[in-house]
Chain A
């Protein structure tokens, strides 16, 4: 039971990372690799800030700001420097590795004996793992609500239009450069926020924790899309978090089968590949048709 609760807690926290990636990957249609650098950057910044005596909440907000800064740099390289967005992201990701070392002065830093947002009397009074579920739920809800509100504003609509058709957006006077920089900044801010929360959950930050982040976040997005199909924008944002939780269940099952934690990146990649190929399988084997027929009564 507790293992399932733990998976839900992780799924909720990683849902924030998925929503961050959704902004660039789905709305702007950008393959942004920066995230593999900003996730550990958020973790490093948060833990280092706690070491420097900042409150855990302030440290988490600092992590968000630091992530935004990294995304901002990618945005500038892409829009003003005319470096392809994939390469711009890889550059910042690579640079971030060194920066993260500088932030912590070492490869990993434990929060043992230090405060964290999980260490308060209310969360500690909950049954095991419900603390991370509660914290994850609060953050993912706030983030989802804010993003949904933002996307319904005039600025948010201009942001969506930029990803949908940049030529048209420019012809309506929308600064597509500005929108892209903003999207990359907010997206990476959210991913760093996710990194900060995961670090507090795990009790440490590690410079190598970025590897595979893009695959895990993408898996959340794709699983949500494959399972729920056609949705409105708001529903799709919620589906990301549900996809993130389902992904954790898949990992849980795979681990039960006897794989160990070091196999996780291989498994994550396979899970994502399978879900991304779902439309191909569906066409070939008429999967959805078979499922719906199997679920409906015979007539």
Chain B
């Protein structure tokens, strides 16, 4: 048997060819290697990924100097359309997972990236998504260190689904959880509600309403760091994504067994978002956000936290929107603009436009 000459040194980088993703890009052969190397590895560009091992490896000692607990989270992103005003599925997949880590007080460090691609997706679109993920990761100061790619038959997925998982380190002394809201605490939000939900409704193009609403998709880890610097004893924090502000408030009220009282007057809401809600009969309290966090902080910290948030680019429009009282326990109440008061409950099912 004649021996094949082997070139020593690093393997040659693959080159992705063609215009669309086909099943062969997920088949484990050359096409898949080309996709991974020419698209993901070259765009995400970091030393853990460059090694092309089956797993990323970390040095423990570097972590123990930053905190005393790890935080870990995962989320899947299936947004339709893939690109929408102000963002895309890639930006969402990074910031969403970064924010889930950040609101525990953790410093987000590493992300994974699992892609499920429907055959026929334009390679150019996938490139745009990956570039957007890289940009969002750089902005948040995290690295995408390992990943997976699957290609499925037409119709078995909708264009592109992304799963990201993230790991971060929680600094010693930080204890944020949904069970810590106490009577007297104050409720703060870092800006306008409902922008993402309204932008998506509009981007689906079913309504032919002209407007300029953009998603609020942004990483929150640096904002959280700023907040914790002035108030390490922040009690609760969560990003108000699916289900909107109302859902997060209900989670806090239930888990802490307290009443949360918010003031409709104080809610930051853009006129354009309000307009879409008025036309369609949607309630902005339930619209999704992708760059908004709700924090419950002790009364004595409130002014300092608010001032710190307002000097941060992700929190310029921060406001105090309400307070915590003892009863009626496990209930969210809102004083309406009109002068009445009503319960803000969890949404049942999907928010559907009303007939008339």
- Decide whether A and B are members of one complex: no
Q: Using a CB–CB distance below 8 Å, which chain A residues touch chain B?
A: none
